[in-house]
Amino acid sequence: MARTGFVAGNWKMNTNKQGAVALAKAVAQGAPAGVQVGVAVPFVYLDAVGQALAGSSVMLGAQDACWLPNGACTGEISIEMLKDVGAKFVLTGHSERRHIFGDGPEFVAKKAHAVYSSGLTLIHCVGETLEQRDANQTLAVVQKQLEELQPASIADPDRLVIAYEPVWAIGTGRNATNEQAQEVHAYIRQALGKLWNQNFASQVRIQYGGSMKPDNAAGLLAQPDVDGGLIGGAALKAESFLAIVNAAK
Ligand code: 13P
């Protein structure tokens, strides 16, 4: 099953307005055909970046969302608000949300459900801590995080993306080896096959994230079940981000 590669930059809490617009323009200008490209942008720059990306194929995305539609939710951003400024995808369950800001599995599950139901593309992030890996719990942790999704209400494999991001590899410069990534990605596809069915699972893109850089991207992306990347640090410069994008063609 040929899957179109999907590389997304997660800018996290970085850039300023001017830098965000300049980075978006450079990405739009350099993005090649044959691979899906996205940028997950700080909320306050979504509108400006959306305008900078107008007419390009680069997808605008948000890094989080509230699951409630509107109302008394001080500090939150609804999915309708994200759609209003042009967002096409949303991340859920990023390890920084889970581990720094305390998003528990119930919150993450509600967010994932709300994002997919809204018609946007969902990038659902899973991954183990170093402690969990050392205790041989990697696959069990990933399994539980996949079970935050509701197979009965997710029918379109194009709008579901799983990002495998081992927590110990994020921002550390220590990426998973090609073999470590492939082992977990293959497990994820098998788990999706059980939760949905084989045909559905074979169409879902599974991104790797965690210190993916231009010099290790080709090896990771050559693995049969690695269909793209979710890029942090290397996505803050158009040159390094586009080098990874090109490796996914
Ligand atoms: P780094 O590429 O900086 O390790 O970040 C990965 C990540 O968390 C993307 O969501």
**3-state SS assignment for residue 228:** strand
Rounded average pLDDT over 163-172: 97
Structure tokens at 139: 């696959």
Rounded average pLDDT over 111-116: 98
Per the CB < 8 A criterion, the answer to whether 236 and 11 are in contact is yes
Average pLDDT in the chain = 98
Per-residue pLDDT tens for 53-70?
A: 999 999 999 999 999 999
99 in active site: no
Domains by residue range for the chain, with CATH: 1-77 (no CATH), 92-101+125-228 (3.20.20.70)
Confidence grade of residue 2 (pLDDT, cut at 50, 70, 90): confident
Q: End-to-end distance of the chain based on CA atoms, in angstroms?
A: 15
* Residue ranges lining ligand 1, Cβ < 6 Å: 10, 94, 165, 170-171, 209-212, 230-234
- Return the residue matching tokens 């194929």: 57
Cα 157 to ligand 1 centroid, rounded to whole Å: 24
Q: What whole-number distance in Å separates Cα of residue 111 and Cα of residue 61?
A: 14
Rounded average pLDDT over 104-115: 98
Cα 209 to ligand 1 centroid, rounded to whole Å: 6
CA distance to 7, 13, 38, 189, 205, per residue, from 90 (Å): 14, 15, 10, 21, 15
Catalytic residue, candidates 96, 128, 148, 165: 165
94 in active site: yes
Cα 152 to ligand 1 centroid, rounded to whole Å: 30
Contacts of 118 (CB under 8 A, 6+ apart): 79, 80, 83
Ligand 1 atom having least distance to the Cα of 209: 6
